[in-house]
């Protein structure tokens, strides 16, 4: 039973971690967009 | 005709519905697997099969999609193809990792060892390493890194038939490809349901990753435009 639980738990953990990493990448892109907006505002 | 805004809203709704269905499926799969009949010789540990095989299928699918995107990039210069290749390679690494963990757990209980240098195991490990090498070549390969990685993806795709057929050609410890067609009736429904849910999850993750990569490409383009405008302005 322990091996089956470990196997499914690992898959859940791996997918969850991947989604978190993608989420962090989205946050970084949003921060860069904000930075660009500020630069455009300063320039206009 | 749909406006870009409403089409984007529709695609977002489809994405959220797909994500929710997949998450629901991820809770239903273990219930179906728990209710599936026990295999006579291996007993409970055989239930890893319901997660291990879909992950292996997604490793192979990701490699083929990565190769298709790489072909489009190499021969037509398609940036979208390149992005598709990168995203599917990432998913191949993710599901390959799941194969490399769930397989040894099953092997430890069934064969008494976490790893043997069986042809199926070795060729699968090689395939997974090729996808990791694809990512490394893109990141550290310099100016031609993307082209080098795309060529590597074609080699990885050539390994997929070898991985699949290895169990039929060189008989080792690993079960052959006939195991799915010879499943007991009570095992078929949970297996195919699990396969469908894992495939749906792969589709949702690929769509999510493609969106992020598309946004990143647009951002780079915009940043260049802003820098250009800043340089021209007095």
Alpha carbons B120 and B210: distance in angstroms, whole number: 31
The answer to whether the CB atoms of A3 and B233 lie below 8 A apart is: no
- Give Cβ neighbours of residue B2 (< 8 Å, ≥ 6 apart): B10
B176 token code pair: 């052959």
Burial of B216: CB neighbours in 10 Å, binned 0-12, 13-18, 19+: middle
Look at residue B39 and give its three-state secondary structure: strand
What Å distances lie between residue B146 and B74, B75, B118, B129, CA to CA? 9, 13, 33, 17
User: Considering only CA atoms, which of B168, B184, B163, B156 is closest in space to residue B50?
Assistant: B184
Each domain of chain B, given as residue ranges in start order, spans 45-232
The answer to whether the CB atoms of A22 and B208 lie below 8 A apart is: yes
B94 token code pair: 């993710």
Q: What is the CA radius of gyration of chain B?
A: 21
Quote the ipTM score: 0.86
B7 has pLDDT over 70: no
Query: Are the beta carbons of B89 and B66 closer than 8 angstroms?
Result: yes
Alpha carbons B68 and B65: distance in angstroms, whole number: 5
pLDDT tens for residues B86-130? 999 999 999 999 999 999 998 988 888 899 898 899 999 999 999
Q: Which of A7, A19, A39 sits opposite B48 (nearest CB)?
A: A7
More confident residue, A36 or B13: A36
Name the β-bridge partners of B39. B43
Select the residue from A8, A21, A27 to test the B interface by mutation, using most B Cβ atoms within 10 A.
A8
- Percent of chain B with pLDDT strictly greater than 90: 48
Rounded to an integer, the average pLDDT of A17-26 is: 88
Q: What is the CA radius of gyration of chain A?
A: 19
**pLDDT tier, B2 (very low <50, low <70, confident <90, very high otherwise):** very low
Chain A contact for B113 (CB, 8 A cutoff):
no
- Averaged confidence pLDDT in chain A: 85
How large is the angle between the packed helices B145-169 and B79-110, nearest 10 degrees? 40
Kindly report the pTM of this predicted structure: 0.88
Neighbours of B184 (CB within 10 A): 10
The answer to whether the CB atoms of A8 and B30 lie below 8 A apart is: yes
Query: Are the beta carbons of B102 and A10 closer than 8 angstroms?
Result: yes
Query: Are the beta carbons of B67 and B86 closer than 8 angstroms?
Result: no
Q: Which of B98, B215, B233 sits opposite A10 (nearest CB)?
A: B98
- Averaged confidence pLDDT in chain B: 87
pLDDT tens for residues B185-224? 888 989 999 999 999 889 989 998 998 888 888 888 888 8
Alpha carbons B62 and B159: distance in angstroms, whole number: 13
Backbone angles phi, psi at B3, to 5 degrees: -75, 160
Neighbours of B15 (CB within 10 A): 15
Query: Are the beta carbons of B159 and B64 closer than 8 angstroms?
Result: no
What Å distances lie between residue B165 and B119, B160, B169, B174, B192, CA to CA? 10, 9, 6, 12, 21
């Amino acid at each position: 039973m322990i091996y089956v639980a470990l196997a499914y738990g690992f898959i859940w953990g791996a997918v969850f971690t991947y989604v978190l990493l993608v989420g962090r990448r989205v946050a970084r892109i949003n921060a860069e967009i904000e930075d660009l907006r500020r630069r455009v505002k300063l320039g206009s | 005709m749909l406006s870009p805004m409403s089409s984007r809203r529709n695609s977002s709704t489809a994405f959220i519905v797909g994500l929710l269905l997949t998450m629901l499926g991820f809770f239903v799969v273990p219930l179906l697997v728990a209710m599936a009949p026990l295999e006579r010789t291996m007993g409970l540990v055989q239930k890893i099969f319901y997660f291990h095989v879909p992950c292996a299928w997604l490793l192979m699918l990701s490699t083929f999609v990565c190769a298709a995107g790489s072909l489009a990039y190499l021969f037509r210069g398609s940036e979208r193809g390149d992005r598709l290749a990168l995203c599917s390679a990432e998913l191949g690494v993710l599901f390959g990792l799941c194969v490399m963990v769930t397989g040894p757990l099953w092997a430890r209980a069934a064969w008494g060892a976490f790893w043997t240098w069986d042809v199926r195991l070795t060729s699968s490990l090689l395939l997974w390493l090729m996808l990791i090498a694809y990512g490394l070549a893109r990141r550290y390969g310099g100016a031609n890194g993307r082209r080098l990685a795309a060529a590597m993806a074609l080699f990885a795709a050539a390994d997929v038939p070898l991985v699949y057929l290895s169990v039929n050609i060189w008989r080792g410890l690993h079960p052959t490809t006939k195991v799915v067609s010879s499943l007991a009736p009570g095992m078929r429904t949970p297996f195919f349901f699990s396969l469908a849910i894992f495939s749906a999850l792969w589709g949702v993750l690929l769509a999510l990753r493609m969106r992020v990569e598309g946004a990143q490409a647009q951002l780079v383009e915009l940043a260049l435009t802003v820098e250009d405008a800043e340089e021209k302005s007095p």
